[in-house]
Amino acid sequence: MDYFPLFINLKNKPCLVVGAGEIAARKIELLAKAGADITVIAPEISPQVSQLKNTYDLNIIQRSFTAEDIHRQRLIISATNQKNINKLVTTTAEEHNIPVNVVDNPSLCSFIVPAIIDRSPIVAAISSGGASPVLTRLLRAKIESLIPPAFGRLAQLAEKYRGLVKEHINPPSERRIFWEKTLQGSIAELFYSGKETEAEARLKSAILNTSDTHQVIGEVYLVGAGPGDPDLLTFRALRLMQQADVVVYDRLVSPEILDLVRRDAEKIYVGKQKNNHSLPQESINELLARLALAGKRVVRLKGGDPFIFGRGGEEIETLVQHNINFQVVPGITAASGCATYSGIPLTHRDHAQSCTFITGHLKDNIVNLNYQQLVAPNQTIVIYMGLTGLDNICASFIQYGASPKLPIALIQQGTTQSQRVIIGTLQTMPDLIKNQDIQPPTLIIIGSVVALHDKLKWFHPEDKCTYE
């Protein structure tokens, strides 16, 4: 270990920053967050530092650094590009046993500034000992994605009730178990979802009734898994997936996303596809309620977004009937994800000022849609689950007045490495796909924006594109 990790109390303590450029401004903001009394010395003051003067009540001295400037300082940071000044700062600081950091010059430092994850009062610091600052920032970004913004306020709540927990729960080992369950369970999730008053009330009740044997009710998280690419998951989705006891998922959830679920979680497949439902929707609703009533934390993992053709509202209604806590985590819907990965903007000033999402389910071998509205110009139409009825859709658009040459795109398994884009027109598309081995899920986009695909495409999984 090249450096001993240490947290220093700098509240109201005099600290010196030598230099007043962009980098110095970043260091000033860090020191200010710690409550330091900051003096800045530099012959030239950048606009960034000038803007910080009133915000943090900085003492700015506009001249070059001298050895006398270190008196009474508790900590010094030098952020200049002048080697002689940096060397003088370090030499003078060491003579007076004052911790000193020279930005991007480890050999002149007695301490280094780590990458910081600030969820005060919880603070984490990551360092490579100056070997690779970029690598430490990348690691910080990964950890940041796992720690909710409300984590610090949750810590303050725990601090508030530490005494009460100690009074009611003995021995210490049981207190540890109590806190582990509390800070990873339903009370914490209530807090993260903004129900802080309810979370505090339930925490207090749990402390005062620790000897009760009443049934523990779990909760359900409806999580949008997005269109397929794991990188499109939200931070909240990933966190809940990694703490779930049970994951109920459908066929639109890619294997790569399912691999991110907690390893020991029970996984229940309820895949739904045309004419082949492993479980009817009503049974899925009751399954979620039954698992939660058994005390499980349940993730209902749904492709795309739970509230866009995902039947999430129906599942929530059942949970409400059973008085079960739930969260809904939005996902990137297929329309947005597949269009973006295909280089097809859904709206564009020169092509479309509106966008309509519809479902293309067949009923009595026809697709019952308001074609008179859909063929209006200057709009984009996105059709979910429309592959089976595609011939009918194209013919109906033409019948109701759309140009046979209106561009149309069929996107297969969008955002994944199996993505394939077939570009045609309303007239040519049925023949284009007739002998193609199309693998669902698919999405259909109709509108002149499709013509922008060639110019704007950027995602190239082996360039699987077919044209008329």
**pLDDT recorded at residue 464:** 65
Q: Is residue 81 part of a domain?
A: yes
User: pLDDT (tens digit, 9 = 90+) per residue, 66-90?
Assistant: 999 998 999 999 999 999 999 999 9
Rounded to whole angstroms, the Cα distance separating 466 from 42 reads 62
275 has pLDDT over 70:
no
Percent of the chain's residues with pLDDT above 70? 95
Residues 351 and 463 in one domain: yes
Q: Is residue 162 part of a domain?
A: yes
User: pLDDT (tens digit, 9 = 90+) per residue, 403-421?
Assistant: 999 999 999 999 999 999 9
**pLDDT recorded at residue 174:** 81
Number of domains in the chain: 4
CA distances from 324 to 185, 269, 305 (A): 14, 22, 21
Residues 345 and 453 in one domain: yes
Q: Is residue 135 part of a domain?
A: no
Q: Is residue 136 part of a domain?
A: no
Of 33, 195, 267, 272, the catalytic one is: 272
- 69 as an active site residue: the answer is no
Give the closest residue to 185 by CA, choosing from 160, 153, 221, 213. 221
Backbone angles phi, psi at 18, to 5 degrees: -100, 120
Which of 51, 84, 113 corresponds to the end of one domain?
Answer: 113
Domain CATH number, residue 241: 3.40.1010.10
- Dmax (CA) of the chain: 89
User: pLDDT (tens digit, 9 = 90+) per residue, 121-157?
Assistant: 999 999 888 788 888 888 988 888 878 889 899 999 9
Residues 405 and 326 in one domain: no
Residues 94 and 30 in one domain: yes
One-character DSSP codes across 212-269 = --PPPP-EEEEEE-BSS-GGGS-HHHHHHHTT-SEEEE-TTS-HHHHTTS-TTSEEEE
Residues 341 and 453 in one domain: yes
Range of the domain at 305: 219-332
Q: Is residue 213 part of a domain?
A: no
User: pLDDT (tens digit, 9 = 90+) per residue, 3-52?
Assistant: 888 999 999 999 999 999 999 999 999 999 999 999 999 999 999 999 99
- 272 as an active site residue: the answer is yes
Average pLDDT for 307-319:
93
Three-state DSSP class for 305? coil
Domain CATH number, residue 50: 3.40.50.720
**pLDDT recorded at residue 213:** 44
Q: Is residue 85 part of a domain?
A: yes
Residues 415 and 435 in one domain: yes
Residues 324 and 341 in one domain: no
Residues 324 and 371 in one domain: no
More reliable by pLDDT, 2 or 37 = 37
**pLDDT recorded at residue 51:** 93
More reliable by pLDDT, 394 or 362 = 394
What pTM was estimated for this model as a whole? 0.71
Q: Is residue 393 part of a domain?
A: yes
If you search the block for the tokens 């998280």, which residue do you land on?
221
User: pLDDT (tens digit, 9 = 90+) per residue, 378-407?
Assistant: 999 999 999 989 999 999 999 999 999 999
**pLDDT recorded at residue 468:** 59
Which of 208, 243, 274 corresponds to the end of one domain?
Answer: 208
259 has pLDDT over 70:
yes
Residues 323 and 342 in one domain: no
**pLDDT recorded at residue 279:** 81
Percent of the chain's residues with pLDDT above 90? 68
363 has pLDDT over 80:
no
Of 37, 69, 250, 305, the catalytic one is: 250
User: pLDDT (tens digit, 9 = 90+) per residue, 155-203?
Assistant: 999 999 999 999 888 878 788 878 877 888 888 888 888 889 999 998 9
Give the closest residue to 441 by CA, choosing from 408, 462, 411. 411
